[in-house]
Amino acid sequence: MRVNIDKRGSGTTPKQASSKYPFTVELPDSATVDDLKNAVYKQAKALYPDRQRLTVGDKKTVLASGETLAKYSVNDGDTIFLKDLGPQIGWRTVFYIEYIGPIIFHYLIYNFSELVYGQAVEHSEVQR
């Protein structure tokens, strides 16, 4: 099965449009969305699978990972639209960034309160 991949043209001017879109990928008839994402990744190395959002003709139905293309009635010669979601980071990284900031901030305020308040601060028993 041959599927055409076209880039979603949200806010791009003709100068910004890439010359490599649209392109065609060859897939087996029993292909899944993950197979399609990997085929797109082979064509456009910057778009690793987590960075891709694929939609079918009506541009509202998002292709979910793990599902077959037959579930979305994708046939030979159909066009699937690709949107670049940008760089993605893992949840573990988000967790560390979110929770390490307040810990470091509290440490700095507690130990260097003279710089913040302009005078020495005596901490209570509970704060020690």
Nearest to 80 by CA among 19, 45, 16, 36: 36
- Position 70 scores a pLDDT of 92
Q: Alpha carbon of 26 to those of 5, 33, 78, 123: distances in Å?
A: 11, 13, 12, 69
Nearest to 54 by CA among 38, 67, 37: 37
User: Per-residue pLDDT tens for 50-78?
Assistant: 999 999 977 788 999 999 999 999 999 99
User: Per-residue pLDDT tens for 69-105?
Assistant: 999 999 999 999 999 998 888 889 999 989 999 999 9
pTM, to two decimals: 0.67
Radius of gyration over alpha carbons of the chain, in Å? 25
90 vs 68: CA distance, rounded Å: 26
